Chain A
Amino acid sequence: MNRKVGIIGVGMSKFGKRNDVTVRELSWEAVKEAFEDSGLTQRDVQLTVIGSTAYRGTEIYPAPPVSEYCDLIGKSPLRVEAACATGSSAIFTAVNTIASGLVDLALVIGVDKMTEVDTATSLAIGGRGGNYYWEFQMYGTTFPTYYALYATRHMALFGTKEEDMALAAVKAHKYASYNEKAHFRNRITVEDVLKSRVISWPIKLLDSSPISDGASAVILASEEKIRELKIDTPIWIRAIGYGSDTSYIAARGEWVGLNAAREAAYMAYKMSGYSPQDVEYATVHDCFTIAEIMAYEDLGFVEKGKGTSLLREGQTEKGGKIAVNLFGGLKAKGHPLGATGVAMAYEITKQLREEAGPVQHSFKKYVALSHNVGGTGHYAFVSIYSR
């Protein structure tokens, strides 16, 4: 990157079923908090990037109403979309705009309201999140089905069990219980997960992240701007790696990990000079429990097929070797698609600044990573941050 870029303000709305607000008020909850956090105002913003998949909500072109409500007219609202990696693609867009020298300060808003349509409609929209013609139309794929195909293969090749996957859900709910902004704050057991309704075997209801509404916001600035503003706690974005894979899931050749995530991770490690061993804290894309296990492997925290061992040994818990998703993950914090990647940057900023309260991780080197997958590995962004 030509210029160093840092995060100087973060905000996040309460995630959950938010029929008390429209997409506009919901966005403002996050944007207001990011302004207060940074001590800046709309006047400082040169570019607004809005990450939203929008399709499940009433506002299918959300950038204009959101930017109007947040008093950001004239700040070039630009909307980007990359399915569940939408938030990271919005950050990627803003970071590159700053790194290139075009602007010095940008606001990223991630938002989606997914509860405005019923579950069957939501499943149909998600099921089209691959290759419509050759998947959804002919076979009635759902989004959980795509990940279930990975889970079945992972189970067959590596002996991963439904009980192992359930551990990821138990961990997510445990940490979400400390997070006032999380969708679910109840604790669950392995038994609860195993007994929950089967959605697309082997994936059950409690293996799945919920359909959520939520917004998050980050303010990014160039190193020069950060000095000028005299901000002493920026969180530096050291690298953003990206990767992609086929839309037709059958064409991927193997179904035990995500090629897109491995490519993105490789690029991010190379760009930053850090290795998996340097990472002390990570947010991983646990839209389903199997996704968390594959993330450990794809990110190089453990070798392929051994992801469950980290869960069983508690190495990704608070105080573990690499703490993962201590805000509850997508699974329990919630997964409003556009907000998720931006909420990962929020979480990492809170952790690296040591503002994470009861779930504060203790850092030595202050190196953290976010892993945000779009679709079922159609895209992936892996970002590395340091203090």
Chain B
Amino acid sequence: MDGIPLIMKYTLPAEELYKPFWEGLKRGEILGTRCKKCGTLYFPPQKDCPKCMASDMEWMDIGKVGEVMTYSIVLQKPQGFENFSDYTIGIVRTEKGIDLMCWVIGTPKVGAKVFLTSDGQRVLCKVRS
């Protein structure tokens, strides 16, 4: 017997809060936040600095080049991504020492040098050939 369906649809909160990040992505810039008081750089960006309890942050570019730390190619996709072709999720360490998740374009290898870019919706990294 089919159960009564539960259809859930979310509205992402904090649209204003992270607007500079999303706008940066459209320009191909990857922005994190830096605490003006203690200098801690956050990625993903944060509104608050729990290290020094301050909430005075500035937006900052986290770097343009990096290195592939690890990756995986997703063939079995989750609900919501069924219509995408296979994609490669990677973790990249930028020149500024920030580690972030991204989609990898090209044939990855652990240790490969990459350029950070964006498709306007997510961070991409392109393997330097």
Contact = CB atoms under 8 A, between A and B. Distances in A.
Between A134, A136, A141, the greatest number of chain B beta carbons within 10 A of the residue's beta carbon is seen for: A134
Contacts of B73: 198, 200-201
Contacts of B70: 149-150, 152-153, 156, 255
B75 A200 contact: yes
B44 A248 contact: yes
A252 B99 CA distance: 8
B72 interface: yes
A199 interface: yes
A138 B122 contact: yes
Nearest to A147: B72
Interface string A121-133: 1011011000101
Interface of B: 3, 12, 44, 69-82, 84, 87, 89, 91, 99-103, 109-111, 121-123
Given A131-B44, A200-B73, A120 B101 contact: no
Contacts of A251: 99
A25 interface: no
Contacts of B79: 120-121, 123-124
Nearest to A136: B78
Contacts of B87: 139-140
A75 to B, nearest CB: 29
Contacts of A202: 72
A373 B20 CA distance: 36
A250 B102 CA distance: 10
Contacts of B82: 120
17 contacts: A121-B79, A124-B78, A127-B78, A133-B44, A134-B101, A137-B12, A140-B84, A145-B74, A149-B71, A149-B72, A149-B91, A152-B71, A153-B70, A156-B110, A197-B76, A250-B91, A255-B70
A126 B79 CA distance: 11
Contacts of B91: 149, 249-250, 255
Contacts of A316: none
Given A142-B78, A250-B101, 14 more contacts: A119-B76, A124-B80, A131-B44, A137-B12, A138-B121, A140-B89, A141-B89, A142-B77, A145-B74, A145-B89, A200-B73, A201-B73, A202-B72, A249-B101
A139 B102 contact: yes
B72 A203 contact: yes
Nearest to B80: A124
A140 B76 contact: no
Contact of A200 (B3, B74, B100, B123): B74
Counting chain A residues whose Cβ lies within 8 A of the other chain, the interface size class is 35 or more
A201 B78 contact: no
A148 interface: yes
Contact of A140 (B44, B77, B99): B77
B12 A139 contact: no
Interface of A: 58, 116, 119-121, 123-124, 126-127, 131, 133-142, 144-145, 148-153, 156-157, 197-203, 248-253, 255
A252 B100 CA distance: 10
A275 to B, nearest CB: 31
Given A123-B77, A123-B78, A140-B84, A201 B110 contact: no
A139 B101 contact: yes
A149 B71 CA distance: 5
A153 B110 contact: yes
B15 to A, nearest CB: 11
Nearest to A119: B76
A124 B102 CA distance: 18
Q: Which of B44, B76, B123 has most A Cβ within 10 Å?
A: B76
Nearest to B87: A140
Contact of B76 (A134, A142, A248, A250): A142
A156 to B, nearest CB: 4
A142 B74 contact: yes
Contacts of A253: 99
Closest 8 CB pairs of A and B: A148-B72, A156-B110, A140-B81, A153-B70, A124-B79, A124-B78, A123-B78, A201-B73
Contacts of B84: 140
B78 A139 contact: no
A309 to B, nearest CB: 21
Given A131-B44, A145-B89, A140 B78 contact: yes
A102 to B, nearest CB: 32
